[in-house]
């Protein structure tokens, strides 16, 4: 009895350590360079952002050069792809201002963090040639889309320091946070459905 208890305590004490060492030894350790090449996630504080810079003026040129205008319209509105520019004044709520004609949310307005605009253009645009833009081009395009929506001044330069500091119209209190999820728990306490 006593020794069993001792064995159980030993097991309990050692189990966190056990969980932290590999059990199967399957898989290969990637090199830091391999991780850097794959890791395109950008946090809201911008810690993964690459070196580079760009302004709205430069972005206006890239927007034409990279055929963005062809799909999204000359200044980001009035063509086949979703509008990137709002035609509503700054006096209405961010949700209203950031809603395009199709009902599609306008990213440079409704994104709570400017890093999401950068990240999406970097990984997802231009359609059909995804992943081909340089960091400078992505900074410039982000600056351009934020400037045409009057989120930043025309002459602001964006880089890894300034981009995460951009104050977006979608404030911290304008959208709902995801719940602190736990297994076997009602999805909305007190709702019952």
Query: Among another protein, ligand HEC, none, what does residue 22 contact (CB within 5–8 Å per kind)?
Result: another protein
Q: Does 127 bind ligand HEC (CB under 6 A)?
A: yes
Rg of the chain taking only CA atoms, in angstroms: 23
What's the closest the beta carbon of residue 184 comes to another protein, in angstroms? Answer: 6
Q: Which range in 5-13, 50-58, 119-127, 157-165 contacts another protein by CB under 8 A? A: 119-127
Which residues 6+ apart lie within 8 Å of 156 measured at CB? 55, 56, 143, 147, 162
Q: From the list another protein, ligand HEC, none, which binds 126 (C-beta under 5 to 8 Å, kind-based)?
A: ligand HEC
148 binds ligand HEC (CB under 6 A): no
Using CB under 6 A as the criterion, what x/- string covers residues 88-107 for binding ligand HEC?
Answer: ----------------xxxx
C-alpha to C-alpha distance for 69 and 75, rounded to whole angstroms: 7
81 scored as a contact of ligand HEC (CB under 6 A): yes
Q: Which residues pair with 99 in a beta bridge?
A: 105
Tokens at 34, concatenated: 């391999």
Q: Which two tokens stand for residue 171?
A: 């404030």
């Amino acid at each position: 009895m006593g020794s069993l208890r001792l064995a159980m305590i030993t097991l309990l004490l050692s189990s966190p350590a056990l969980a932290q060492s590999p059990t199967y030894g399957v898989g290969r350790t990637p090199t830091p360079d391999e991780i850097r090449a794959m890791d395109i996630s950008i946090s809201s504080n911008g810690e993964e952002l690459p070196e580079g810079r760009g302004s709205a003026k430069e972005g206006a040129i890239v927007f034409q050069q990279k055929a963005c205008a062809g799909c999204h319209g000359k200044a980001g509105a009035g063509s086949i792809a979703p509008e990137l520019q709002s035609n509503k004044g700054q006096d209405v709520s961010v949700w209203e201002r950031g809603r395009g004609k199709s009902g599609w949310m306008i990213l440079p307005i409704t994104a709570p963090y400017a890093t999401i605009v950068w990240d999406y253009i970097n990984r997802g645009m231009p359609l059909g040639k995804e992943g081909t833009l340089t960091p400078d081009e992505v900074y410039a395009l982000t600056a351009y889309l934020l400037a045409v929506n009057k989120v930043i001044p025309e002459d602001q330069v964006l880089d890894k320091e300034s981009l995460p500091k951009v104050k977006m119209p979608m404030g911290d209190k304008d959208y709902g946070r995801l719940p602190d999820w736990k297994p076997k728990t009602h999805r909305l306490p007190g709702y019952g459905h």
